Amino acid sequence: MTRDEIEHWVRSCLRKARYSNSHKAEVGRSRCQRQRPDTALRIYPCDYCYGWHLTKVAANPERIES
């Protein structure tokens, strides 16, 4: 694994909360959005740990998962 790949892995997986399935990630997203209603989050499956994470959504509202 290259240094860039390791840095990407750390940013996209190791520094984030890991959820074991999409339902648990949805519960986590709901909790986070109650605490920070101005921050739109999306759920995505992780290619590194095969769990699920949350990430901020880009400014385009069409990309927000419901």
Instruction: Tell me which amino acid residue 4 is.
Output: D
pLDDT tens for each residue of 23-62: 999 999 999 999 999 989 999 999 889 999 999 986 555 5
Q: What is the pLDDT of residue 10?
A: 86
Q: What is the pLDDT of residue 51?
A: 96
Q: What is the pLDDT of residue 62?
A: 54
The full set of domain ranges for the chain reads 3-63
Q: CA of 47: how far to CAs of 9, 26, 31, 53, in Å?
A: 9, 18, 24, 10
Higher-pLDDT residue of 44 and 10 is 44
Q: What is the pLDDT of residue 11?
A: 83
Q: What is the pLDDT of residue 64?
A: 47
